[in-house]
Chain A
Amino acid sequence: MKHTLVALVQDKPGVLNRVASLFRRRAFNIESLTVGHTDQPHVSRMTIVIDSDNTSAHLVEANLAKLVNVIDIQDVTQQEMISRDLALIKVRVDAAGRAEIAQLAEIFRAKIVDVANDSVVVEATGDEDKIDGLVELLRPKGILEMVRTGRIAMVRGNQTSQRKNGNGHYNGNGNGHVARDVGLSSV
């Protein structure tokens, strides 16, 4: 099954390489990986989607925790979360077909963000299934180009998937959760 991991990492040269290298070296498969800033300087947030069983997902989590530059890592798969993918889709369309595309976009709460003589760019956000649905409808019209960000995720409610200490700085939750999650098997 697909697991969504949220990692906070130091924003330093080479950190993305360390994470990517780990996946390659341990032969873990990445479905998607997104990186961006957080509200705190020098801390980046990664959303990593992997397709694996629970044991392997736990090993991925434990391996990430061993990287010195990783501040926090959580598997949020089992939690209530919002997950989003953003897509820009350039569709071949002339003036006559534009209205139909605009209609489709509206149904998906997508926007047309660029119009040219023979093409438009549709911007869509949503979970991957929704984007997939829109893409399938646009495909027959002729997709010229497409880019997707991959999944970003956040836990719902006042729970966070990133923990701050009293000073407002991010840190691990202090429960040694990577350790805790290695549970007793049914003996």
Chain B
Amino acid sequence: MPKLAGAQILWECLVREGVDTVFGYPGGAILPAYDAMLQYPIHHVLVRHEQGASHMADGYARASGRVGVCVGTSGPAATNMVTGLATAMMDSIPVVAITGQVGTKVIGSDAFQETDVTGVTLPVTKHNYLVTHVEDLAETIREAFYIARHGRPGPVLIDIPKDVQLAQTEFEYPTHPIHLPNERLLEKYVPQEYFARAAEMIAAAERPVILAGHGILLSGAMDEVMEFAEKTNTPVALTLLGIGGFPAEHPLCLGMMGMHGGAYVNEAIQNADLLLAMGMRFDDRVTGTLKTYSPHSKKIHFEIDPTEINKNVKVDVPLLGDLKESLQKLNPLVKAKRHDAWWEHLQRAMQEDPIRDVLDWESPDGLMSEHVVHDIWTATQGDAIVVTDVGQHQMWEAQYYLHNKPHTLITSGGLGTMGFALPAAIGAKFAQPHKEVWVIAGDGGFQMTMAELATIVQEKIKINIAILNNGYLGMVRQWQEFFYDARYCATPIFSPDFSKVADAYGIPGYVVDNRNDVMDVLDQARSLPGPALIEFRVKMEDAVYPMVPAGASLNEMIKREKIVQPA
């Protein structure tokens, strides 16, 4: 058997896991691994900050369904990755992070660039490892990828001390099946009776609503959800991360629910007599106050994670397991139905409170973000992968860019991580090199990670960047306007001339402040072979409507004043 160093074993195992691209930054404690990397068919993307590496691995995973990998050294590199790991953890994204660690002999002595990385990342990873013996390395890496992908996906970190990377051992790639100590505890056993009960409830329902969540995409259950919805004529409400799981322009699709969802979508949920929660976890952003949440409905929860059952909302029938498999069992048991009265009611509500309420507005007093998003949708024919940051633009994207295909919206939902968009888009582009990738970001979040512009240039990839610059941390400003008497504390934000910043990196930059110019510039940017950055100078004090104030009931929404448009 050949003897290999730990550093070589690392790449041997990664290649066997199907990894061909990693996002990272070299440093002292990971140097042996970087040196060994040269022997392997691995493309390394040099990031400008390790937070970027973890977001790129995340974006790569979201766009491809494969495990994203980031690499960094000990200490500050690992702590910089924490935000990206927490983002992936909250949104159930399979990521494997590899970090170097100081030598095993000096662990615990506050050595240079030493941090207790497994301690720091414990609550933001699905599992993590400190490998202290080179003999354990191959098995650990296999387990890490298995855990990242298996069940409810999530990030896994492997901390490898420098001496373990250098130590040699006989290497034979393990091929035996992986058995985790806890696997039998999590075996998904759902009595047939539960499916029968669910089918009865579905047959009896008059006002059902499907709550379509991220689990649809993670499970790949798009066809099964479609079959169920069409067979039972059930309206589909989407969570933010569920967008793409069901086509936005399908007649059964209501649109997004929750804090900035459609008023009629939330009304539908509040008035429903049956909720079918599919791969969603009743997050506070989609329920409003739990005290008054959908008070008249029975609830069926399709959920892979036993800790989510009855965590926020008590449910009547839990269907634990992979959504696709559960629906494959349930669909044959349900009978075709029509809900004409329910649909009539919903159609009426939709007419009264359209979510895309400013679509037909003229905007003589300034460029509206909503229009920019709509125009990007038009220009890309709704077919781009859009990666958003966090804030107002994120909600406008969700409202005005209609996603009909899965995995075309990439956004930080659970953690709400500003600075996510640019690095995540780089990861998405590596996952789907032939797809058009757009960043839509605000002026605040973009400045958090804009150093990654250099990564785009160094890697020669094409990403189109739209910055909606309103001169404020807009979502926070909106809360200050609504709930703090418009005292704008610390929300006005200075930005550089973004087009000149782009220029400094060798990226063509554009500035647009007029609706009439939007389509032209979008076309120009798209036609370039390389990246482009467009700064849209938009109205400063626009707000995202409608809105459920924090702590209010889901149907108590602040709505935009109905303004009669000047002719």
Contact = CB atoms under 8 A, between A and B. Distances in A.
A177 B182 CA distance: 12
A185 interface: yes
Given A172-B183, A176-B188, A187-B298, 8 more contacts: A59-B311, A69-B182, A71-B182, A171-B184, A174-B187, A179-B190, A179-B306, A184-B194
A172 B185 contact: yes
A66 B147 contact: no
Interface in A2-39: 9-10, 13-14, 17-18, 21, 25
B542 interface: no
Interface string B36-55: 00000000000000000000
Contacts of B127: 68
A185 B315 CA distance: 7
B279 interface: no
Interface in B160-186: 180-186
A146 to B, nearest CB: 32
Interface of B: 118-119, 122-123, 127, 130, 147, 180-191, 193-194, 197, 201, 298, 305-307, 309-311, 314-318, 320-321
Contact of A68 (B119, B181, B311, B317): B181
In this complex, the interface size class of chain A, counting residues with CB under 8 Å from chain B, is 35 or more
A17 B116 CA distance: 13
A50 interface: no
Contacts of B194: 184
A72 interface: yes
Contacts of A174: 184, 187
Contacts of B320: 179, 182
A112 interface: no
Nearest to A65: B185
Given A58-B310, A66-B186, A176-B184, A184 B122 contact: no
B122 A185 contact: no
Q: Which among A70, A177, A182, A184 has the greatest number of chain B C-beta atoms within 10 A?
A: A182
Given A14-B118, A67-B182, A62 B189 contact: no
22 contacts: A9-B181, A13-B130, A14-B118, A18-B122, A21-B123, A55-B310, A59-B307, A65-B185, A65-B186, A65-B306, A66-B305, A67-B182, A68-B147, A172-B184, A172-B187, A175-B189, A176-B186, A179-B306, A179-B321, A180-B189, A182-B309, A184-B316
Q: Main SS of the interface on chain B?
A: mixed
A173 interface: yes
Interface of A: 9-10, 13-14, 17-18, 21, 25, 55, 58-59, 62-63, 65-73, 171-180, 182, 184-185, 187
A179 B187 CA distance: 7
Contacts of B191: 180
A70 to B, nearest CB: 5
Nearest to B182: A70
B90 to A, nearest CB: 13
B188 A179 contact: yes
Given A65-B182, A176-B185, A178-B185, A187 B309 contact: no
A62 B309 contact: yes
A70 B188 CA distance: 17
Given A65-B306, A178-B306, A72 B118 contact: no
Contacts of B309: 62, 182
B266 to A, nearest CB: 24
B504 to A, nearest CB: 43
A176 B320 CA distance: 11
Nearest to B310: A55
A173 to B, nearest CB: 7
Contact of B316 (A13, A67, A171, A185): A185
B182 A17 contact: no
B400 to A, nearest CB: 37
Contacts of B123: 21, 25
Q: Which among B186, B188, B193 has the greatest number of chain A C-beta atoms within 10 A?
A: B186
Contacts of B189: 175-176, 179-180
